[in-house]
Amino acid sequence: MKLLLENWREYLNEQVRVGRYLYRIAKASKAERIMNSGIRAGLQSADTNEEYRNKLGQPEGRVYFFTDLDTTSAIIFSSPEDVEAIIGDVEKGDRFIVAQIDSSKLDPDLTFHIDEENEELLGANYAVHPTEVQWKISPDAIIKIYTEEDLLKAAEDEEYYQ
């Protein structure tokens, strides 16, 4: 039975589809680099330093993101521990941004998977490239950077009109 459930979960992970926009949390100090150079795939977990490995035990590069801006915003404004679990290495006073990514401008070979470590968070996913370990999301796919102030203003505007 356990094998059946593992196989079903694996099948579901392979069926992840993403919408038009993806949202990546980062430290505000990285905003300019993201806009100019894109987002590089990470080779290890930012919070545990464990190497990412595929089903065959081979290294893989991953980019983590959310599919929903509201969930992404909620994480930024939650506890520092929650943010650190997502991006790792958070210090008191750090500011954050959200990079909005146009999924139609991503490499079509990318595969998307549910982030099982954070699956309780709506839309927590990661992307991998099937043949490249060192890959990146091009700066052309980054369409906007939201600051914390932008996100607060959007939330206030939304509350005003409800």
Does 49 or 101 have the greater pLDDT score? Answer: 101
- Residue 99 in this model has a pLDDT that exceeds 80: yes
Query: Could you tell me the end-to-end alpha-carbon distance of the chain, in angstroms, rounded to an integer?
Result: 47
> Which of the listed ranges 6-15, 93-102, 123-132 does the model predict with the highest average pLDDT?
93-102
| 3-class DSSP string for 30-54 | HHHHHHHHCEECECECCCCCCECEC
The stretches of the chain forming alpha helices (DSSP H) are: 2-14, 31-37, 69-76, 80-87, 148-160
**Residues in contact with 145: Cβ distance below 8 Å, sequence separation at least 6, in sequence order:** 31, 34, 35, 97, 98, 99, 100
Q: What is the pLDDT of residue 153?
A: 87
pLDDT tens digit sequence for 6-25: 665 565 555 567 788 999 99
pLDDT tens digit sequence for 40-89: 999 988 778 889 998 889 999 999 998 888 888 888 888 777 777 777 77
Q: How does residue 28 score in pLDDT terms, banded at 50, 70 and 90?
A: very high
Q: Percent of the chain scored above 70 by pLDDT?
A: 83
- The tally of domains found in the chain comes to 1
- Vertex 105: Cα angle to 102 and 107 (nearest 5): 125
Token pair, residue 51, equals 């190497």
Average pLDDT score over the chain: 84
Distance (Å) of CA 154 to CA 99, 131, 149: 15, 39, 9
- Residue 104 in this model has a pLDDT that exceeds 90: yes
Distance (Å) of CA 93 to CA 27, 59, 151: 11, 33, 17
Q: What is the pLDDT of residue 160?
A: 45
Measuring CA to CA, which residue among 73, 70, 66 is closest to residue 16?
Answer: 66
Token pair, residue 17, equals 């589809």
**Residue span of the structural domain in which 133 resides:** 2-160
Backbone angles phi, psi at 148, to 5 degrees: -60, -40
Q: Output the pTM of the full model.
A: 0.82
Find where tokens 């990285």 sit.
30
- Residue 161 in this model has a pLDDT that exceeds 80: no
- Residue 158 in this model has a pLDDT that exceeds 70: no
